[in-house]
Structure 1
């Protein structure tokens, strides 16, 4: 059969590429961008700009998002009415705020202007610009193009004051959190070398989640708050350390409620709680809530973008809580590690608790923290949607639990562990992991979970480094595949089949180097002397994550 060649515009990918090519070829200075709401004065002097205490300013977060009817029709209404509405904002007096702040360094992503500051006690704060500049991530030759202009315009799909609503909700749920404070950063001489990038900007000022927080209840008065890289490295190298999975799940369920699709590893910090000498529990501190209550799919061009599934985790905040697997894709790596120990009963209990604590009053209190005229404009619709999503939380939690339960990773450390797998029946498999004493006995149970074939297709055990032991027993062939990667170290494998063909569902991957295999004839042993770094040890496992 002869195929008819379709016109270019029938193919959405080629059509968009063509439009981009045309746009890029017409680069122009017309589309210069800034995250500053107020341009600098002709001259700044210490005499004129010395005290801003108790001052306020009326300013719109993004007047440039006010576009023509034609543009809005094609690209979406988004939150343009919110961005273009002037609000009363307190002026930050850097010399007196929090006892006096000293600017230290610029940081953050290329899209957000961040400025770190320090008070007289050494406590760090951060200023994060409300407006974003995503076009700065484009190649330099594109940054003055029409494409850059459209990429920048997509920021109007975010709500500039959304993060202000969360502390009241997080506190009600018993979570840790940061407290953003809406401020206007003037062209203040106290900014020094940072006046040009930061002066004239509406920003969120918040305590930086790092270091000693013993005087700060919202972060659990933790002696130390660590980055994800540091917490993961501790967890993967030391089997006395673990993440508080139920506490983390509470935060992830709130993410689903508010539609936060950007929960990658760098958007978390971890309160370090010592539960034994040199042994720690890590409790989640969410940060960077830039993409909650997202409103994207309200114009033909954003709709087409969504149909291409180029960024499947971009989800419009609607009354119906759905597509949770896509919504959570940026946080999937952490979810698979931290939530692997929780069974459905745990999820059900935590989801029920979140649902009960997230009362109508708590939701309404959260939205009252927005500027009054913004709350009047946004709160009725957004609170109604959030209440609706809360009522669907148990069903959404069940869907995401089932997505994670299909293939589960049980990850050891670079220390010695003993993995015990008991095939109870074709339907049920129990997995335990123990810390091994130096004298080769076993002591503390590190992991226990019962898996069911109705939920789980495959269990994956990773020993990482250390002299690990894997003991599999049972009298029947399981309905769940059991795959084992021993990693580095001298490992021991034992399959006790008890007269069954147990090994037909067991797959072992390791090197020949000083590993001992006492398995039945059905067990598949894959000798691989060139193992992937990601399966080998703690340092390799860290390659799986997006880390700063």
Structure 2
């Protein structure tokens, strides 16, 4: 079989050879071109609407559709009545601030008179802008742009009702048309004439806004992860995060990398925080990719394996691929939870997401779009909901095979006990610099039937790793002490053959049996050393 990367390179060469740069493949995310003359007097947009399609250019010939898929082309090409945004009156009046977002999406930030920020994100996308400039007007760019039709542009409108029902934080997008309004100033040529989704920007003080948990401080993933890794008093609400992640799996959302989350911060003690997940950027839900031979073949060759089509069922292998972009964050946060927690939360989400809740959610779509797409999506969503406990079990099993228990840049005391039945109890305590134990901050029992490899990371600080065992463990244990003066201790010869210790040669105490695998090297990888190095594992803004 051709290697995926080889196939991808071949397609790049082939596509670029088919057509050089050409105005034929010039793209825009704007639905309405800027007129030659903009009136100096702002029109009255109050209660105004326009009727237009989100992406007329996705209407292709029968031959093209046969090879590349029907996708959601009818939803993109069907005209929809859209409210016109009047920035002078919306939310008491809005002031444009700056452009932002990725190159694929036109994104503009605005604020009202209280300082609350809103973000406007274009409905259409331009993924080909990520290509080298010489290919951005090529046939290849046109094909990549065309793949946007695999998404339903209006789908995010259905999510708030379901998210509220299952008890997670959420955003409330609204459909707007941004006119060529001179009050947009320097941003008019970039944002004017665009159909977009507008929502509160998840940042700073949201104490007046219940969908974000009335949090007085909403933080980025970089800020929240940094706080968790540098201070062992702060933690993520793993149970709430799992509810959000199970919802992602129900929706078939394959883009859940770190930058697609924000975090409601609550101070529960002096300088100690808990972080609650706020998912954002729901552009890639209910994906319909493999309904043509070309995208079907690309998926079979492993190109973008997380691009999983939304179907009535999803097996363990496809579920693992779907969750690929969110895997690093899952491994950091969900490591706190045992299977019983997953089972309880999956059952709760399943029961909350009733047929009535699902059906009501899709009434938020424009009527014409609901008539085109809602019935099929609802049917598949109900089927996935019914299978949610098995989906949860499948992904839990995936994460449980190799587990990482991560400390912080403060001081921790790790206790690992191999019990008589072969299960392994891991407890992590916060300690003072002198080693005095303050409190238990982590506890979980690992089953050798689920876990093959247990990895412990102390990061910075002076950490202790104590191993107890009356029987030989059936799983492998690897330990990275990281920066600081660390101590390793065990009197059990039975644990030694399965124990690997990695640290520097600097001021560490190692009191273990001879058969222990000890790897001392001053050339330590940054990703195992301290919080700053661990952050390199993540996709952060």
TM-score > 0.5, shorter chain as reference: yes
Q: Distance in 1 between matches of 2:342 and 2:9?
A: 44
The answer on whether the counterparts of 2:16 and 2:138 sit within 8 Å (CA) in structure 1 is: no
> How far is the alpha carbon of 1:351 from its aligned partner?
0.4
Inter-partner Cα distance in structure 2 for 1:290 and 1:316: 14
Q: TM-score, with normalisation over the residues of structure 2?
A: 0.97
**Following the alignment from structure 2 to structure 1, what is the Cα–Cα distance between the partners of residues 394 and 84?**
45
Q: 2:291 aligns to what SS in structure 1?
A: coil
CA contact (8 A) 2:22 2:138 kept: yes
Name the residue aligned to 1:3.
none
Question: Residue 263 of structure 2 aligns with which residue?
Answer: 270
Q: In the alignment, which residue of structure 2 is the partner of 1:219?
A: 212
Deviating more after overlay: 463-472 vs 50-59? 50-59
What is the aligned counterpart of 1:515 among 499, 508, 519?
Answer: 508
Q: Counterparts of 2:13 and 2:197 in 1: how far apart (Å)?
A: 39
Report the Cα distance in structure 2 between the residues aligned to 1:390 and 1:183, rounded to whole angstroms: 31
Residue 249 of structure 2 corresponds to 256
- Secondary structure of 1:456's match? coil
Is the counterpart of residue 352 in structure 1 residue 334 in structure 2?
A: no
C-alpha separation between the residues in 2 aligned to 1:99 and 1:447? 47
Mapped pair 1:175 → 2:168: yes
Offset at residue 263 of structure 1 (A) = 0.2
**Offset, 1:430:** 0.2
Deviation at 1:308?
Answer: 1.2
Distance 1:107 1:506 in 2: 48
- Give the match for residue 25 of structure 2: 31
CA drift at 1:18: 4.8
SS of 1:470's equivalent? Answer: strand
Q: 1:307 aligns with which of 293, 297, 300?
A: 300
In 1, distance between residues paired with 2:303 and 2:341?
33
Residues in 1 aligned to 2:12 and 2:459: alpha-carbon distance in whole angstroms: 44
Counterpart-to-counterpart distance in 2, 1:440 and 1:508: 20
Q: Does 1:139 align with 2:140?
A: no
Structure-2 residue corresponding to 1:338: 333
Contact 1:36–1:202 (8 Å) recurs in 2:
yes
* Paired residues of 1:210 and 1:224 also in contact (CA < 8 A): yes
1:292 to 282, 285, 290: 285
Residues 423, 475 of structure 1: 8 Å contact kept: yes
Give the equivalent residue in structure 1 for 2:183: 190
Q: Distance in 1 between matches of 2:506 and 2:319?
A: 43
SS in 2 for 1:431: strand
Structure 1 residues 220 and 17: alpha-carbon distance in aligned structure 2, compared to 1, 3 A threshold: closer
Question: Is 1:465 paired with 2:465?
Answer: no
What's the offset of the Cα at 1:321?
2.5
* Runs of 4+ residues deviating >4 angstroms: 11-15
Aligned to 1:442: 437
Which 5+ residue runs of structure 1 have no aligned equivalent? 1-5
Counterpart contact for 1:422–1:431, Cα < 8 Å = yes
1:417 aligns with 2:407: no
Q: Which residue of 1 aligns with 2:489?
A: 494
Taking the aligned partners of 1:50 and 1:227, their CA distance within structure 2 comes to: 38
What is the CA-CA distance between 1:15 and the residue it aligns to?
5.5
| Residue 377, structure 1, aligned to residue 372, structure 2 | yes
State yes or no: 1:480 paired with 2:455.
Answer: no
Q: Which of 186, 194, 203 is the matching residue for 1:210?
A: 203
Do the aligned partners of 1:106 and 1:114 also contact (CA within 8 Å) in 2? yes
Task: Describe the SS at the equivalent of 2:478.
Answer: strand
Contact 1:426–1:453 (CA<8 Å) still a contact in 2? no
1:476 alignment partner, SS class? coil
Decide which of 214, 225, 228 is 1:235's aligned counterpart.
Answer: 228
Does residue 1:317 correspond to 2:348, yes or no? no
Specify whether residues 20 and 74 from structure 1 end up closer, same or farther in structure 2 by C-alpha distance, changes over 3 A only: same
State the alpha-carbon separation in 2 of the partners of residues 534 and 12 from structure 1.
31
1:503 aligns with 2:500: no
Aligned to 1:104: 97
Match of 1:68 among 61, 64, 77: 61
Q: Is the contact between residue 425 and residue 478 of structure 1 (CA under 8 Å) also seen in structure 2?
A: no
**Does the aligned pair in 1 maintain the 2:350–2:388 contact within 8 Å?**
yes
On the 8 A contact 1:321/1:392 being kept in 2, the answer is: no
Whether the 8 Å contact between 2:16 and 2:140 is mirrored in structure 1 is no
Tell me, in whole angstroms, the C-alpha distance in 2 between the residues paired with 1:306 and 1:324: 14
Q: Secondary structure at the match of 1:379?
A: helix
Shift of 1:385: 0.5
| Whole-angstrom distance in 1 between the partners of 2:306 and 2:7 | 20
> Can you give the 5+ residue segments of structure 2 that lack an aligned partner in the other structure?
none
Q: CA deviation at 1:17?
A: 4.6
* Counterpart secondary structure, 2:357: helix
The answer as to whether partners of 2:52 and 2:80 remain within 8 angstroms in 1 is yes
SS in 2 for 1:368: helix
Range that drifts further, 13-22 or 326-335 = 13-22
Asked if the contact 1:163–1:289 (Cα under 8 Å) also holds between the matched residues in 2, the reply is yes
Indicate conservation of the 8 Å contact 2:175/2:198, yes or no. yes
Q: Size of the alignment, in residue pairs?
A: 536
Q: Are the equivalent residues in 1 in contact too, given 2:469–2:494 (CA < 8 A)?
A: no
1:55 aligns with 2:48: yes
Does the CA contact (< 8 Å) of 1:501 and 1:522 recur in 2? no
- Quote the Cα distance in structure 1 between the aligned partners of 2:411 and 2:260: 31
Given that 2:16 and 2:139 are in contact with CA atoms closer than 8 Å, whether structure 1 keeps it comes out as no
Deviation at 1:438, TM superposition (A): 4.2
Give the counterpart of 1:86 among 70, 75, 79.
Answer: 79
Partners of 1:306 and 1:406 in 2: CA distance? 26
Conserved 8 A contact 1:426-1:477: no
Q: Is the 8 A contact 1:485 1:510 kept in 2?
A: yes
Aligned partners of 1:344 and 1:27: how far apart in 2? 54
For 1:372 and 1:490, the matched residues in 2 are separated by 64
Q: Any conservation in 2 of the 1:503–1:521 contact (CA below 8 Å)?
A: yes
TM-score computed with the length of structure 1 as normaliser: 0.96
Equivalent residues of 1:351, 1:393 under 8 A apart? yes
Q: Distance in 1 between matches of 2:472 and 2:186?
A: 69
